[in-house]
Amino acid sequence: MCPELQYTLNRLVRGVASSRVTARKGFYATLVGLLSAFSFLTVEDVLAALKKELHSANSSKSVRFILFYLVVYET
């Protein structure tokens, strides 16, 4: 994966953890679009970004959103 795509994935994962609901929705929608557009991105890529970027307990809701996408759209 190119560095720009890795940065974008990491940034979107961090954005989904935003404390602002409207920002979180926007980052989530963009993350879904990114994963749809770049079908070679794997579940492992997203989980690695989650592990790297989300450290606090406050991000558990964001992790659930992302994992929901992975379960629904990747199966």
Q: In angstroms, rounded to a whole number, what is the distance separating the alpha carbons of residues 15 and 26? A: 8
pLDDT: which is higher, 60 or 28: 28
Q: What share of the chain is helix, strand, coil (3-state, %, to 5)?
A: 80, 0, 20
CB 13 within 8 A of CB 50: yes
Question: What residue spans define the domains of the chain?
Answer: 3-73
- The mean pLDDT of the chain is 79
Q: Kindly tell me the number of DSSP H helices and DSSP E strands found in the chain.
A: 4, 0
Flag whether pLDDT at 45 surpasses 80: yes
Instruction: Quote the pTM value.
Output: 0.72
